[in-house]
Amino acid sequence: MTRLFHVPLSPFCRKVRLTLAEKRIEVELVEERYWEQGPEFLRRNPAGKIPVIRLNGRTMSESQAICEYLDETVPEPRLMPRDPEGRYEVRRLCAWFDDKFHAEVTSKLLYERVNKKVMKLGYPDSKNVKSGSARIKYHLDYLSWLLDQRRWLAGNEMTLADFAAAAHLSSLDYISDVDWNRSQNVKDWYAKIKSRPSFRSLLADQVPGFPPPTHYADLDF
């Protein structure tokens, strides 16, 4: 069976989990204390990062590379467009969330509030939390602007770009750091993707010491 080494609230792991579930690939989830940088884990991925997947006898890392590999080897349902322009836009938006959003928001909120406690690295840095709380508004407004023009983030079909965005936002929603009242079309988009069967395992996640808010798993949030 496919095995994914992950942590529940990692947006990079969540993007891979969504892709696997959408493709109906059964997977065994193995929580990995990657910050301890154990020798066995470093043998799987010398970069010392998650996710790491064991699939068809191969060990692979880097969430975007994994997701695109899955899309090419299990082509239905398709998560990357057929045309070069469409693939470019999906990759641009995946990079937007995995790089820019991650640096400006996820690392400032999720990592300060949750990761530091789990890794025993001290208390949240209030300046980082304040910065992340301010920057997420800009990103939600950008999503709203995209959705004013498109049914989904990269066009008229759901793609990996939607999974990348939802992976980050769902992690932050777990700690109540997303203001869904800021934009109705962003809330409607998230409600659509949240109601997909592939999202169910994410909504069932529980992190010891961090109970999710009641709206987290509510499809009518």
In a domain, 78, yes or no: no
Q: What is the SS3 assignment for 102?
A: helix
Average pLDDT rounded to a whole number, residues 160-171: 98
pLDDT more than 90, % of the chain: 98
Query: Is residue 94 a part of any domain in this protein?
Result: yes
pLDDT confidence band for 221 (50 / 70 / 90): confident
Q: What angle do CA 106, 182, 153 make, to 5 degrees?
A: 65
Classify residue 3: in a domain, yes or no. Answer: no
User: What CA–CA distance (Å, rounded) separates 162 from 148?
Assistant: 15
Share of the chain above pLDDT 70, in %: 100
Q: Is residue 11 part of a domain?
A: no
Containing domain of residue 149, as a range? Answer: 84-196
Terminal alpha carbon distance of the chain: 35
Q: How far apart are CA 183 and CA 72, in angstroms?
A: 34
CB distance 195 to 133 below 8 Å: no
The Cα angle at residue 100 between residues 95 and 103, in degrees rounded to 5: 125
Write out the two tokens for 20: 């696997």
- Name every residue whose Cβ is closer than 8 Å to that of residue 77 and which is 6 or more positions away in sequence: 22, 23
CATH of the domain at 176: 1.20.1050.10
**Within a domain: residue 216?**
no
In a domain, residue 69? The reply is: no
What is the reported pLDDT for 220? Answer: 86
Q: Which helix (H) or strand (E) is 161 found in, with range? A: helix 160-173
* 93 band by pLDDT with thresholds 50, 70 and 90: very high
Q: Report pLDDT digits (tens) over 101-130.
A: 999 999 999 999 999 999 999 999 999 999
Residue 152's pLDDT is 98
Using the predicted structure, report yes or no on whether residue 167 has a pLDDT greater than 90: yes
pLDDT digits (tens, 9 = 90+) for 15-61: 999 999 999 999 999 999 999 999 999 999 999 999 999 999 999 99
Q: Position 9: which residue type?
A: L
Listed in sequence order, the residues at least 6 apart from 74 whose beta carbon sits closer than 8 Å to its beta carbon are 23, 25
Residue 128 forms part of a structural domain? yes
Question: Does residue 88 lie within any of the structural domains?
Answer: yes
- The number of distinct structural domains making up the chain is 1
Cis amide bond preceding 197, omega within 30: no
Mean pLDDT across the stretch 180-190? 97
